Structure 1
């Protein structure tokens, strides 16, 4: 995606571009947040005051009321019967799957297999050494031996 620079957006704002480039930049502006930030940084106090003269004082209230009216229309226009049928079908399907799993013994097998799985996990942990703990112990032992040898060297120097 090609981005436009500050100067190009300044020319766009002042309508100093050919119509085809102006249209292209306008399309780009609707899709690019980076260029939108650059363009919005060009808006100054004079333009804000001019916009206040054009826009009615109750503009925000009118827009919010229109949005609220549209939400109510959308909610009322939904087909409640269709939604009920969808939910009912969903619950029937879930109940059917539950009944099938119950009669097939899947839940019973699951309850019976959990203790077996737990027991096999305990056995495998006992058989497998913990590499991390062994590595940590080796580091501690090596460090202790190294420090001990340094202390012995210093004692030997002092003894001489």
Structure 2
């Protein structure tokens, strides 16, 4: 069945619960986009952790795996603190999450945020992913992209 529904979901408990209860026939019609929530280092479970951001992203990867199995999914960090933010290991948060999703047997589709493309670290993180990723990518446009469409060369760049 061809997917016809692309819900944008906060990667939080309520959305995971809703997806876990969705029927397989419904799941086959969608490719969800998981918006990774802001990392909160103040949460007690990350206190004392040597790699709290990496732990947070690994937990999200497992939570997604538990509800979505091997079907395609999109992921983005639109709400992340800064577009170029890195984990404690020095890896860009998006490339870290991509590898975590892949290692959990998932089929992740990276989302390229038009609004964040000017950030050099963000571009570098996405280039790390697209260097090995052979599948689809998603381009997430913001309202300013439509204004930029008046200058096709800029938009293409």
Choose 1 or 2 for highest CA Rg.
1
**Greater relative CO (CA pairs within 8 A, separation 6+):** 2
Greater per-residue helix proportion: 1
Q: Same fold (TM over 0.5)?
A: no
TM-score by length of 1: 0.20
